[in-house]
Amino acid sequence: MAALKERYQNPTIGDTVRLKFFVLNSNMTAEVESINAVRIYFLDPDAVTIVNPQGRVLVQTIPGANVVNPEQGEYFYDLFLDPAIYTETGRYVDQWEVVFQPGDVPANHDQLFQVFPELWYTTPIPIVYDFRFYFQPNKMRFGENKPIEIEIIPNVPRATDLCAYYENLAIAAELFVNMRLRCGDCVPCESDLQLVIDREPTFYREKNRGFFRIDTTKFDCGIYDIWFELNFGGNVYISDTNQFQIFS
């Protein structure tokens, strides 16, 4: 089934892959003068020559006007892997033609992504195994604004085809974050009032890891309950409740 995926979420032909491009200047996110175009090349092993050592074959050119700029220094384009155009699985390059400042010569910046074959698997066992969730860091100083990293590990027998299948499910599945201010032992927990993050998606996925940004200036110092939710194929997996601290 077609889905919207990050570049490291094992996209297949027919999916839409979100190609992101981040720009920093002196360790700060920064805007560029313009994105002129994004060119997509297939790295064809049969097209390798002395003058074309990577076997690059131009597949598609996206005008810079179609690139989205949601935040300072962040750009993306949602590339539909149209089966009529993207007929080959394998490695691709998204080449961004960028003008950093007025008067600069356009510069090309290459990034890689891979298109995978569809993963078919047959088994007499339905999807019954569970997942473990780990995250770090589990505390931040008030004033910090940075991501936490969530790792998803299948609870299945290791080094098996079933394990590989579940790992791919974890890579492609939607991942959400919830966080609630922890009440004292003698205080009833009013969930609706104390919920500060309500099923918000991670902003970036890389294989079996998800990243979620927490701006501590938006919250009070204290102890919070934090838990994660993984969704795929109509199944919902909810992690144990963990503790997260914001301290002064």
Question: pLDDT digit string (tens) for 142-197?
Answer: 999 999 999 998 887 776 677 777 777 788 888 999 999 987 654 555 555 688 99
Domain residues of the chain, as ranges? Answer: 4-115, 131-247
CATH architecture of 4-115: Sandwich (2.60)
Domains 4-115 and 131-247 equal at CATH topology level: yes
**Residues 230, 134, 202, 4, CA torsion sign:** negative
Q: Which of 74, 4, 76, 64 is nearest to 34 (CA)?
A: 64
When mean pLDDT is compared across 31-35, 128-132, 141-145, 228-232, the lowest value belongs to 128-132
Three-class DSSP category at 66:
helix
> Could you count the other beta carbons within 10 Å of the beta carbon of residue 29?
12
pLDDT digits (tens, 9 = 90+) for 37-70: 999 999 999 999 999 999 999 999 999 999 999 9
What topology is assigned to 131-247 in CATH? Immunoglobulin-like (2.60.40)
Backbone φ, ψ for residue 215 (5° rounding): -100, 100
Residue whose entry in the numeric block shows the structure tokens 């600069």: 104
DSSP 120-187: ----SS-S---EEEEEE-SEEETT-EEEEEEEEEE-S-SSSHHHHHHHHHHHHSEEEEEEEEPPPTTS
